[in-house]
Amino acid sequence: MIIGITGDYASGKDSAASILEKMNFYHVSFSDLIREELRRRNIKITRENLIEMGNRMREKSGPNILAKIALEKVKDGENYVFTSIRNPEEVRLLQEKEEFILINVTASEKVRLHRIIERNREEDPKTLKELRSKEKIERSSNPNAQQLHKVAEMAKITLSNDSDLERLQEKVEKLVTDWLFKVQPKRPDWDHYFMNIAEAVKARASCLSAKKGAIIVRNKQILSTGYNGTAKGIMHCKDGGCERCTLRHKGKIKSGEYSVPCTCAHAEENAIVQAAYNGICTQEATMYTTFTPCNTCARMIINAGIKEVVALVDYPDDVGTKLLKEANIILRLLK
């Protein structure tokens, strides 16, 4: 879970973050990231310098650069709180994470000014006019600058903090309880899970032509995998092992022309052969393949007893498709 916190001057952003830290959330402050840059350049750390350096970093590396740096610190399975989020592009990048949620901590001007005067920091505003003037700096129309007002509008939750710390803690704890399970990343369904594996298998393909991958599954267990390329012990197609593929990619023969035999095995073929080689029965299994099977692979699928084929891309071979249909084998294209 990643909780982003935004809010106006003295609204209680840091207090909310401190509460989350006590709940074992790791705290990443975007302002601290800018402070690190100021230290590297031996520039005095002031509010004005923080704003200027932050704007400079966004202009040089993109308006979401601080979010990119923050996400690099995230470890899988841990909870984080991000503070000092001040640009909409930072939010948009973070929103690509399903486990991210943005909170806008609010408080009335009267309450915020009272807190500012009470904490008595040297650079803090002392009047309502000074407060509004400083906050105006953070409401720029420059897309590379601070746009706190636009960030606040993007928040999924508004957390009112006009009361005391104890009440804020209750609200933060309730928020975590309410949202912990809602923001967990969605798991892929079984079809997409196995197709993603077939896509990974495809990366091992050694053919000069389209890379393809296939896996055979029964009862949600993988029986075998296959990708296209030359047979074991034969020079890889990508290294010149298949004369036909080499000639085709040199422009000597056309796609679909077989005047020279192809020595590459297809992904589906390899998956079936590997199962046979290891003594694994493929009867009543399902094949996941990145392309619909050609007619040769379709015949092998039929004879291997495979009952269903799930494909990602429709390969232009009507013969293979018709054979599967005639053999009452289910063929599905995965959306």
205-225 per-position pLDDT tens digit = 998 888 999 999 999 999 999
Tokens of 157: 């939750």
**What is the per-residue burial (b if ≥16 Cβ within 10 Å, else e) of 217-252?**
bbeeebbbbbbbbbeeeeeebbeebbebbbebeeee
User: Which residues does the chain have with pLDDT short of 50?
Assistant: none
Distance CA 101, CA 185 (A): 12
State the pTM of this model: 0.74
pLDDT value, residue 140: 78
With a CB cutoff of 8 Å and minimum separation 6, the contacts of 250 are none
pLDDT value, residue 159: 93
pLDDT value, residue 125: 78
Amino acid identity, residue 75? K
Distance CA 10, CA 107 (A): 8
pLDDT value, residue 172: 96
* Residue 101: strand pairing partners: 3
HEC states along the chain? CEEEEEECCCCCHHHHHHHHHHCCCEEEEHHHHHHHHHHHCCCCCCHHHHHHHHHHHHHHHCCCHHHHHHHHCCCCCCCEEEECCCCHHHHHHHCCCCCEEEEEEECCHHHHHHHHHHHCCCCCCCCHHHHHHHHHHCECCCCCCCEHHHHHHCCCEEEECCCCHHHHHHHHHHHHHHHCCCCCCCCCCHHHHHHHHHHHHHCCCCCCCCCCEEEEEECCEEEEEEECEECCCCCCHHHCCCHHHHHHHCCCCCCCCCCCCCCEECHHHHHHHHHHHCCCCCCCCEEEEEECCCHHHHHHHHHCCCCEEEEEECCCCHHHHHHHHHCCCEEEECC
Give the residue numbers annotated as catalytic, written as ranges: 268
Residue 114 has a CB neighbour count (10 Å cut-off) of 13
With a CB cutoff of 8 Å and minimum separation 6, the contacts of 188 are 196
Distance CA 273, CA 245 (A): 22
pLDDT value, residue 263: 83
pLDDT value, residue 109: 86
Tokens of 299: 């015949």
Distance CA 250, CA 244 (A): 10
Nearest to 131 by CA among 104, 110, 113: 113
Distance CA 160, CA 168 (A): 8
